[in-house]
Amino acid sequence: MCGIVGYIGNRNAVPILIEGIKRLEYRGYDSAGIAGISNNNLFCHKSVSKVVFLEEKVSKLDLDTNIGIVHTRWATHGEPSIDNAHPHVDCKGDIAIVHNGIIENYDLLKTHLESDGHVFASETDTEVLAHLIEKFFDIDGDFELAVRNALKHVVGAYGIAVINSKEPDKLIAAKNGSPIVVAIGKDEYFVASDVAPIIEHTKDVVYLDDNEMATITKDGYTTKTIDNVPTSKKVEEVMWDIDMIERDGYDHFMLKEIHEQPVSILNAMRGRFDHGNECLVKLGGLEGHEDVLAKFNRIVIIACGTSWHAGLIGEYMIEAFLRTPVEVEYASEFRYRNPVVDSETLVIAISQSGETADTLAGVKLAKEMHATVLGVCNVVGSSIARESDFGIYLHAGPEIGVASTKAFTSQITALYLLTLYIANLRNVTTLFNCNLVEALKAIPDQVASILKKENEIEALAELYKSSENFLYLGRGYNYPVALEGALKLKEISYIHAEGMPAAEMKHGPIALITKDMPVVFIAIQDAAYQKALGNIREVAARGGKVIAIGTEGDDSLKEKADHVFYIPKTIDMLTPLLSVIPLQLLAYKIAVMRECDVDMPRNLAKSVTVE
């Protein structure tokens, strides 16, 4: 969601902060602001819209400071405006704070503070924190204690960074439900909501846990709980390189990440097959938990958005292989009801960022109900990864584009491997397992072959870029792909699109079919192929335009569809890894032709860390 970067050290913080927050623009935002301390005086400057406008503003001011914080805001309380942009300051103009999350009791706190004489300049919940810290600092004269006491009164989620001109050599950060990482350089320290802004400076980081606070000077840092109990933190190494968060010649991060999928899928598999028996899968993150994984009798998968679609594919595969019942739940619904979960349940939480607020809350609820939690995440050290009992990392590399692409195919790959791994634990090992492994190893090259036909998708996009509605239909393993294809188009081109099981078209949506309604069919030669052909005929009979994703060699499909894009043949359950690629490209090409901001679509953020 919003982005935070903080710095304290011997260099001028301003250019470091500006360049750092640029690396978080992908998270989605509507305004930006920076604060620092110069000659013991606090300065704060803000702008609406892009970071470049903030950069232009501060470049004219010749600011020089060794400490500072910067923020990109995604509006929750109050419209995008200069007043509502972060950082927010206290009445005296000494304390500045940036904040990700939502303060749920801010109305009550604001009323009390106003009765004490505090004057507010914004509509935000965050400004309450600045005044609350001011109140306690006036009482005790101790910056660290004031922050701690203020946070004890807060209900809600926060990731914060705070500075105070009365203690200009100190930067304080704290976390509860919204990620904060402290990065350790040479005689300098960084705070951020994501590792992207800091990896050009250092790869040594410490991840704060919930209800934990870091007090940082240029000479070192300490961490304590909000209740003032010292904590010991492990310094971890970020494995990403700066080149991985650059566009590398591509017009957009999304296009780069689509083209990275042959490698990202391979990386999800790399080192995870037994050298002695290639039919067997080994997952280091699950070692020592074999007994638990062999015995559970029910699985619940929780996720949001694209990760939920990956979970649906996992459900189909796990049930087919293991004959174990699986439910896939939206994490936002799972957490707000009383789900049937117990010690015999395995909960699989899927999240690219590992910070999705609803999924993280679902993990905590599942653990409270004595379930075992397995996390499937891309970001090492993320909150869900740390909260889970054990898990699987995707190793997809950083995904910058808001619309997830390579993380989706990596999640599916991880779920295939998990299914094979558990099948072996339960002695459900057959020749088909080996055939599946061989087919899975062929997928990266097959994806690469699809990407070489990008020009065919571009021609389709040109034909349908002006359409206002799309329908995506699939069956079996490719029904979730239909959902995902529709989501991608909605996210980045702002065209209304719906995905559904092909058979459900007859139960209402067929009424929408006209010559102006493109219908995308995933009509590969799988177990449901003949049924898909019947659905295509129904659309064609009503004048609908049919775009079919077919299997190479199926020449007869050309007679039934207006357009056919062919993908290589593979085992039925692996087809989502191939069929989704042309749908990602179609959404991307249409969005570019409609002049949409592909990497930062309106109203969306990469990681949804608030409800």
From 2, 304, 377, 596, active-site residue: 2
String of DSSP letters for 510-552: GGG--TT-EEEEE--SSTTHHHHHHHHHHHHHTT-EEEEEEET
CA distances from 527 to 309, 567, 571, 573 (A): 20, 16, 10, 10
Q: Is 606 a catalytic residue?
A: yes
Contacts of 347 (CB under 8 A, 6+ apart): 299, 300, 301, 302, 341, 362, 363, 366, 371, 372, 373, 374
Q: Taking a C-beta distance cutoff of 8 angstroms, is the pair 393, 411 a contact?
A: no
| Residue closest to 328 by CA, chosen among 479, 443, 436, 432 | 479
Task: For 101, list phi and psi in degrees, rounded to 5.
Answer: 120, -170
Q: Taking a C-beta distance cutoff of 8 angstroms, is the pair 16, 28 a contact?
A: no
From 46, 256, 589, 606, active-site residue: 606
The Cα 311–Cα 302 span in angstroms is 8
Task: For 24, list phi and psi in degrees, rounded to 5.
Answer: -110, 10
Q: How far is CA 63 from the centre of its chain?
A: 34
Count, residues in the chain: 611
The Cα 256–Cα 247 span in angstroms is 7
Q: Taking a C-beta distance cutoff of 8 angstroms, is the pair 587, 491 a contact?
A: yes
String of DSSP letters for 167-227: STT-EEEEEEBS--EEEE-SS-EEEESSSTTTTTT--EEEEPPTTEEEEEETTEEEEEETT
Instruction: Indicate the pairing of strand 41-48 with strand 31-38.
Output: antiparallel
The Cα 506–Cα 538 span in angstroms is 9
Helix (H, G, I), strand (E, B) or coil at 67: strand
Instruction: Tell whether omega for the bond before 444 is within 30 degrees of 0, i.e. cis.
Output: no
Contacts of 472 (CB under 8 A, 6+ apart): 482, 483, 485, 486, 489, 497, 498, 499, 500, 519, 520, 522, 583
Q: Is 2 a catalytic residue?
A: yes
CA distances from 600 to 25, 160, 303, 402, 589 (A): 8, 23, 22, 6, 15
Q: Which residue reads 């009424």 in tokens? A: 511
Contacts of 465 (CB under 8 A, 6+ apart): 589, 590, 593, 594
Supply the residues annotated as catalytic: 2, 606
